Structure 1
Amino acid sequence: MTEPRTYHAIATQEGAHWVVKVEDLPEGLVGVTQGRTWSEARKMATDVVAMLLEVPEDSFELVMQPADPDMANALITVEGTRKEAELANKAAAEALAVAARILTKKTTVRDAGSMLGVSHQYIAKLAPKKG
């Protein structure tokens, strides 16, 4: 399965509205729309791309950034931090599973859970006893 095509949009706050210009469209197509809120503007931009390209809304990805550099940088920082946290959480879960397997070979499931700060039921799921 191929990755969905990505279109980029720049949103500028003008008064009470966000004005959105979709970039990356085929030559000759202009995607400009607006919305009162960020969510509404994003939905409208998605609708514009789908309408102009005559494709379903779920067949592409829309990446929308504010034109204001401070706002854009803040969003980029949050996204990067979230990705780092996601990777750290995955690594922690993997380490917990390994630790559960090691500890349950040497002590009880209850003690392993207590040592790792999780329930013994969770330890039992991570390191089931072979029957």
Structure 2
Amino acid sequence: MTGPATPETYRAIAELDGEWWVVTVPDLRGVYTQGRTYEQARAMARDAIATMLDTAPDRVAVAMEVRLPGHAEDTISEVARARAARDEAAAAEQRKLRESARRLKAAGVKVVDAAVLLGVSKQRVYQLLTDH
């Protein structure tokens, strides 16, 4: 038995026009739709693509590209980059905490003291020591 097929992804362009998000799908001629909210427009795009292809909506994924006046969409990219940097910093912090907990244990430091030195709870130190 095989698992569900991966949905095909289509690029869609969403532009704000007054109160409506207008969506076009460049790779599928004649596929246009709209929605009052961004989420509604994305769902409508997915349904429009599925209808055009005569397939189930769950077989379609939509990669929305937002276009706003004055390059306002650049702020969306800036937020995405900032979040990626935050996530990488958090991952680096966790790696350093794990490494530090192990070094402190190897140096004979008690868990209660390691917790204070690292600024985490005793329970977190125990977790760090057992993480792989």
TM-score w.r.t. the length of structure 2 is: 0.80
Q: 1:48 corresponds to which residue?
A: 48
Map 1:8-87 onto structure 2 (within 5 A): 8-25=11-28, 29-68=29-68, 70-87=71-88
The alpha-carbon distance between structure 1 residues 45 and 100, as it changes in their structure 2 partners (threshold 3 A), is same
Correspondence for 1:117: 119
Shift in Å, 1:116: 0.9
1:80-95 alignment, distance < 5 Å: 80-95=81-96
Deviation at 1:56, TM superposition (A): 4.3
Determine whether 1:7 maps to 2:16.
no
| CA-to-aligned-CA distance 1:79-102 (integer Å, 9 cap, x gap) | 122112212211111111111111
- Aligned with 2:72: secondary structure? helix
Q: Alpha carbons of 1:47 and 1:108: their partners in 2 closer, same or farther (altered >3 Å)?
A: same
Q: 1: CA distance between counterparts of 2:55 and 2:95? A: 40
Percent identity of equivalent pairs? 35
* Corresponding residue SS for 2:99: helix
How far, CA to CA, are the matches of 2:27 and 2:37 in structure 1? 23
SS for the counterpart of 2:9 is strand
TM-score with structure 1 length normalisation? 0.81
Q: Is contact 1:9–1:63 with CA below 8 Å preserved after alignment?
A: yes
Q: RMSD of aligned C-alpha atoms?
A: 2.3
Moved more, 67-76 or 119-128: 67-76
Query: How many positions carry a matched residue from both structures?
Result: 125
Decide whether the 8 Å contact of 1:65 with 1:72 is kept in 2: no
Query: What are structure 2's unaligned runs of at least 5 residues?
Result: none
Q: Cα offset for 1:63?
A: 1.9
Instruction: Flag structure 1 segments of 5+ consecutive residues without an equivalent.
Output: none
Q: Return the alpha-carbon distance in structure 2 between the equivalents of residues 114 and 99 of structure 1.
A: 12
Deviations 1:18-60 (A, max 9, x none): 11112233xxx43211000111111111222233234444445
- For the residue of structure 1 that corresponds to 2:120, the secondary structure is coil
Amino acid in the other structure paired with 1:32: Y
Check conservation: 2:111, 2:122, Cα contact below 8 A.
Answer: yes
* Corresponding letter in the other structure for 2:116: S
